[in-house]
A and B are shown apart, each in its own frame.
Chain A
Amino acid sequence: MSVKTQGKPTEVPELLTVGFVTLLRSLGLTIPIGSVIAFQESLRELGLENRKSVYWAGRTTLITDPENISLYDQAFIGFWEGQTFLEQDLLPLIQTVTLAIDDGLPLDEIADKEEHPEGEVINLRYSTSEVLQQKDFALYSLKELEEAHVLMQAMLSIGGNRSSRRKLPSGKKTQYPDLRRTIKRSLRTNGEPIRQDFLERGKRLRRVVFLLDVSGSMETYARALIRFVQAAVVGRRQVEVFTLGTRLTRITRELSSRDLDRAIDAAANSVQDWSGGTRLGETLRIFNNDWGQRGIARGASIVILSDGWDRGDASVMSEEMGRLQKVSHKIVWVNPLKASPGYEPLAQGMAAALPYVDQFIEGHNLESLTNLAALLSE
Chain B
Amino acid sequence: MASDLPNKPEGVAEGLADFGYLASEGLATAIFLSLSLKRPLFLEGDPGVGKTEVAKTLAKWLDTELIRLQCYEGLDISQALYEWDYTRQLLHLRAAEASGRAVEVGEKVLEDEMYHERFLVKRPLLQAISHSKETPPVLLIDEIDRADDEFEAFLLEMLSEYSVTIPEIGTFEARIPPVVIVTSNRTRDVHDALKRRCLYHWVEHPGFDREVMIIRSRVPEATENFAKQVAAAVELVRDLGLYKPPGVAESIDWAIALGRLGSRELDESSILGTMGALLKYREDQIRMQDHGIQELLDKALARVG
Contacts and interface: CB of A to CB of B under 8 A. Distances in A.
A69 to B, nearest CB: 7
A15 interface: no
B147 to A, nearest CB: 10
A41 B38 CA distance: 11
Given A60-B200, A191-B102, A53 B29 contact: yes
Contact of B93 (A5, A60, A191): A191
Given A46-B29, A288-B243, A187 B188 contact: no
Interface stretch (A126-134, A178-186, A340-348, A350-358): A178-186
A2 B33 contact: no
A174 interface: no
Given A3-B5, A46-B9, A190 B202 contact: no
B188 A296 contact: yes
Give the contact-size bracket for chain B: 35 or more
Interface centre among A180, A187, A288 (most CB of B within 10 A): A187
B9 A4 contact: no
B261 interface: no
Given A4-B36, A183-B84, A294-B185, A57 B150 contact: no
Nearest to A64: B195
A50 B33 CA distance: 15
Nearest to A168: B76
B189 to A, nearest CB: 8
Interface string A141-178: 00000000000000000000000111100000000000
A60 B201 contact: yes
B19 interface: no
Interface stretch (B103-111, B218-226, B227-235): B103-111
Interface string B165-207: 0000000000010000000011111001001100111100000
A208 to B, nearest CB: 13
B208 interface: no
A164 B72 CA distance: 12
A80 interface: no
A52 interface: yes
Nearest to B8: A46
B196 A32 contact: yes
Counting chain A residues whose Cβ lies within 8 A of the other chain, the interface size class is 35 or more
A42 interface: yes
B269 interface: no
Contacts of B78: 180
A38 B36 CA distance: 11
Interface string B1-18: 011111101000000000
A133 to B, nearest CB: 37
Contact of A192 (B42, B72, B97): B97
Contacts of A63: 200
Contact of A56 (B26, B37, B38, B195): B26
B25 A56 contact: yes
Nearest to A285: B241
B96 interface: yes
B39 interface: yes
A45 B33 contact: yes
- From DSSP, what is the main secondary structure of chain A's interface residues? helix
Contact of A165 (B3, B9, B42, B73): B73
A151 B195 CA distance: 32
A34 B102 CA distance: 53
Given A38-B39, A166-B76, A183 B89 contact: yes
A256 to B, nearest CB: 11
B243 to A, nearest CB: 6
Interface in A1-27: 1-6
Contacts of A35: 196
Given A38-B39, A38-B199, A187-B107, A1 B5 contact: yes
Contacts of A188: 107
Given A46-B29, A165-B73, A2 B200 contact: no
Contacts of B93: 183, 186-187, 191, 193
Contact of A294 (B35, B84, B97, B187): B187
Nearest to B202: A66
Contacts of A3: 5-7, 32, 35-36
Interface in A28-77: 30, 32, 34-35, 38, 41-42, 45-46, 52-53, 56-57, 59-61, 63-64, 66, 69
Contact of B35 (A1, A165, A167, A186): A1
B114 interface: yes
A53 B230 CA distance: 32
A295 B84 contact: no
A69 B202 contact: yes
B199 A5 contact: no
A32 to B, nearest CB: 6
A117 to B, nearest CB: 27
12 contacts: A1-B176, A3-B35, A52-B25, A56-B25, A57-B33, A60-B199, A61-B199, A183-B89, A187-B110, A190-B107, A191-B102, A298-B187
The 3 closest A-B pairs by CB, nearest first: A295-B187, A165-B74, A191-B93
Interface of A: 1-6, 30, 32, 34-35, 38, 41-42, 45-46, 52-53, 56-57, 59-61, 63-64, 66, 69, 164-167, 179-180, 183, 186-188, 190-193, 204, 252-253, 285, 288-289, 293-296, 298, 323
Interface of B: 2-7, 9, 25-26, 29-30, 32-33, 35-39, 42, 44, 72-74, 76, 78, 84, 86, 89-90, 93-94, 96-97, 102-103, 107, 110-111, 114, 135-136, 145, 148, 150, 176, 185-189, 192, 195-196, 199-202, 241-244
